């Protein structure tokens, strides 16, 4: 069991100070989300040899390890030039993870092409459909899975609101179809209400495929006759969720953690709050403490 910090709210810190901050907040593990000086959103990695060496030294100095690295590339783009570039960037990112001694990466199914290429009528842009993006993703994953297997890196995948794959059961089916021990499922708690209404059942359905979870709270956007949020104009096609501190939303955390324990979960638990940059330190400490309480309750003897 690893309890990790997604340091997105501390992304203004350099990598050395980021390691120091994670340790100060009580974390021994980091899930490194995209940042401009290492693996930026959508473009080629910026993690050159000197920076990798500096980051490794900082992790060691502060007693922190990388639990996972999160790249985001356009590997589901129906535009073949974008897709091929994304696959190249992925291969470089996998090599960087291996160099960093990190055996886990996580990502999303993808949002299709760059929005600059076409009107965003859907997640997949203009004339492109979800089917186009799924076909592009399959071409990418079939090329990349052998690379993950060769490098000994596990990929944990999450469906995400706005992506071509937003929901739990199609994601599970596709990951099982891949049939690789190096491809697992990431259950993101703030996406629960897009997945369905029975969280315990959904976790049971994913079962041992779950190797990684994101912990943050959210409101149920479907509640109160769909009026938990007031969206103007009414009926606008938007996807809304939050990444808040635990207990600020409507996730039942006892159900969440007890269900994970029941399916034998023993993976990465990432504190994944984005909504409170003005009190990022307090949020990080609070999340670390609260997650540990549930680990102690449902996995006695696991240190986290």
Note the pLDDT of residue 256. Answer: 99
243 vs 194: CA distance, rounded Å: 14
User: What b/e sequence results for 248-269 when a residue is b if at least 16 CB atoms lie within 10 Å of its CB, and e otherwise?
Assistant: ebebebeebbebbbeeebebbb
Cis ω before 233 (30° cut-off from 0): yes
Task: Tell which residue, 104, 82, 83, has the closest CA to residue 93.
Answer: 104
Note the pLDDT of residue 298. Answer: 98
Residue 75 near residue 129 (C-beta atoms within 8 A): no
- Structure pTM? 0.94
Extract the residue ranges of the chain whose pLDDT is less than 70. Answer: 118-127, 303-304
Note the pLDDT of residue 222. Answer: 77
Note the pLDDT of residue 227. Answer: 79
Q: Kindly state the tokens that stand for 43.
A: 């473009």
Note the pLDDT of residue 233. Answer: 85
Note the pLDDT of residue 125. Answer: 57
Note the pLDDT of residue 304. Answer: 59
Note the pLDDT of residue 124. Answer: 61
3-state class (DSSP) for residue 232: coil
Class of the 2-298 domain?
A: alpha beta
128 vs 110: CA distance, rounded Å: 14
Note the pLDDT of residue 118. Answer: 60
């Amino acid at each position: 069991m690893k309890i990790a910090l997604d340091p997105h709210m501390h992304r203004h810190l350099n990598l050395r100070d980021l390691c120091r901050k994670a340790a100060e907040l009580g974390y021994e593990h980091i899930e490194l989300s995209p940042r401009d000086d290492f693996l930026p959103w959508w473009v080629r990695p910026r993690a050159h040899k000197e920076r990798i060496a500096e980051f490794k030294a900082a992790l060691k100095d502060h007693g922190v390890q990388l639990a996972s690295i999160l790249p985001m590339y356009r590997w589901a783009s129906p535009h073949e030039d974008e897709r091929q570039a994304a696959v190249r960037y992925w291969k470089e990112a996998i090599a960087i993870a291996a160099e960093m001694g990190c055996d886990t990466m996580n990502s999303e199914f993808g949002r299709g092409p760059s929005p600059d290429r076409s009107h965003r009528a859907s997640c997949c842009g203009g004339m492109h459909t979800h089917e186009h993006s799924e076909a592009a993703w399959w071409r990418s994953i079939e090329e990349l899975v052998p690379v993950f297997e060769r490098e000994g890196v596990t990929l944990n995948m999450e469906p995400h609101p706005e992506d071509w794959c937003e929901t739990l059961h199609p994601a599970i089916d596709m990951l099982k179809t891949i049939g690789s021990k190096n491809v697992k499922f990431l259950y993101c708690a703030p996406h629960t209400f897009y997945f369905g209404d029975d969280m315990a059942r959904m976790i049971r359905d994913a079962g041992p495929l779950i190797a990684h979870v994101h912990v943050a709270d959210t409101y149920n956007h479907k509640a109160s006759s769909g009026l938990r949020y007031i969206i103007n104009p009414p009926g606008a096609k938007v996807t809304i969720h939050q990444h808040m501190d635990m207990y600020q939303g409507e996730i039942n955390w006892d159900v969440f953690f007890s269900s994970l324990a029941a399916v034998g979960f023993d993976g990465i638990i990432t504190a994944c709050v984005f909504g409170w940059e003005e009190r990022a330190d307090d949020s990080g400490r609070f999340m670390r403490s609260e997650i540990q309480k549930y680990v102690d309750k449902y996995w006695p003897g696991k240190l986290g």
